[in-house]
Amino acid sequence: MPFTIAIDGPAASGKGTIARAMARHFGFSHLDTGLLYRAVGALGGDPIVAARGLQPADLERDDLRSAEAGQAASRVAAIPEVRAALVDFQRRFARSEPGAVLDGRDIGTVICPEAEVKLYVTASDQVRAGRRALELGADVAQILTELRERDARDAARDVAPMRPADDAIMLDTSDLTIEQALTQAIAHAERVRA
């Protein structure tokens, strides 16, 4: 039976790093669901048409990790028809054998409420801004402003707002190394699988 790990949280919290490492550890497939929305935003034009026609190759674009793509993703993710077009794809992926790790903002609450493991990864605004600025070679103050705007938009949207699932394990990575955060996440998933 497939095993699904849902990892949610705000940008630059460490959820993607943890998700990729957990997928490698367990031999599962990994989907960064934010790339779906980033790709739709980056494709331009009518976002609903872009979402309905999204191809796997669209997730390979080099510009999907830019701050601009992140802002575009947040805007198109608030459109109910875009979200609906991408939900089925994500749910099918989540139940692939032998298991899957999905990271995003509404995996444990909307996409995979039945996931065996749900984590909500977070970190302080300052820590997240510092991480993203280092990654992008950008100004910390500017990134902090953008992160806060995006968090507010993602948490306030009517459809699938960003929030922890009621049964999610909270993992604050503000003061943890990658190894410490991963150790905690894997330990939790292994307890559930036992």
- Summarised one tens digit per residue, pLDDT across range 116-144 is 999 999 999 999 999 999 988 999 999 99
10 marked ligand binding residue: yes
Rounded Cα distance between 194 and 192, Å, is 6
164 marked ligand binding residue: no
What is the predicted pLDDT for the residue at 173? 97
96 marked ligand binding residue: no
pTM, rounded to two decimals: 0.85
What is the predicted pLDDT for the residue at 136? 87
99 marked ligand binding residue: no
Residue written as tokens 């949610």? 8
Burial class, 167, CB count within 10 angstroms (exposed 0-12 / middle 13-18 / buried 19+): exposed
What is the predicted pLDDT for the residue at 176? 97
9 marked ligand binding residue: yes
What is the predicted pLDDT for the residue at 60? 86
What is the predicted pLDDT for the residue at 1? 79
Q: List the domains of the chain with CATH numbers.
A: 3-189 (3.40.50.300)
What is the predicted pLDDT for the residue at 107? 95
118 marked ligand binding residue: no
17 marked ligand binding residue: yes
11 marked ligand binding residue: yes
174 marked ligand binding residue: no
- Which residues of the chain carry a pLDDT beneath 50? none
